[in-house]
Amino acid sequence: MTPQPPSPREDFAAYAAHAWPRLVRTAHLLTGDPHEAADLARTALADAYARRRRIPRDDADFHVRRTLVRAHLRRRRPAPAPAPLARALAALPARQRVVLVLRHGEGLAEAEIAETLGCSVGTVKSYARRGLAALSALPLSGVPR
């Protein structure tokens, strides 16, 4: 008797458990608030679960990350006093912040970020350049260089 393959629900639960720390870290860098980050990660996973039949397995990370970023861009909640790096990131326009978090926090390539945001690679490069320039102009006391 061969063992049964995992059910789609078990398969998704395993994916969610594996992806959770990375999603929360990315969301925390975007929001500056650990509670809002967890809420944002839950929202992204809930949306992915609802759409799981339409998401190719090898594209799950892309879809969940895109959902997380889009949900963040739709939200406009004031965050409590964040850490110095989070404050510096929060001072950036949303798109610049998202590009920097995905590039330097998640390690995504510019092409992956462009696909996630639905823009050109040139636009991603422009957001990254402007975001880094803005960060370098800020006093970052308490942030390791």
Q: How far is CA 126 from CA 68, 113, 121, 129, in A?
A: 22, 12, 9, 5
> Where exactly are the structural domains of the chain?
8-80, 82-145
Rg (C-alpha) for the chain, rounded Å, is 17
CATH code, 82-145: 1.10.10.10
Q: Which amino acid belongs to residue 135?
A: L
Q: What is the pLDDT of residues 75-133, one digit of tens each?
A: 765 555 557 788 888 889 999 999 999 998 888 999 999 998 999 999 999 999 999 99
* Rounded Cα gap, residues 85 and 141, in angstroms: 9
Q: What is the pTM of this model?
A: 0.61
Instruction: Provide the CATH topology of domain 8-80.
Output: Rna Polymerase Sigma Factor; Chain: A (1.10.1740)
Q: Is the pLDDT of residue 23 over 80?
A: yes
Q: Is the pLDDT of residue 56 over 60?
A: yes
Residue 38, pLDDT score: 95
* Rounded Cα gap, residues 109 and 72, in angstroms: 20
Q: What is the pLDDT of residues 36-47, one digit of tens each?
A: 999 999 999 999
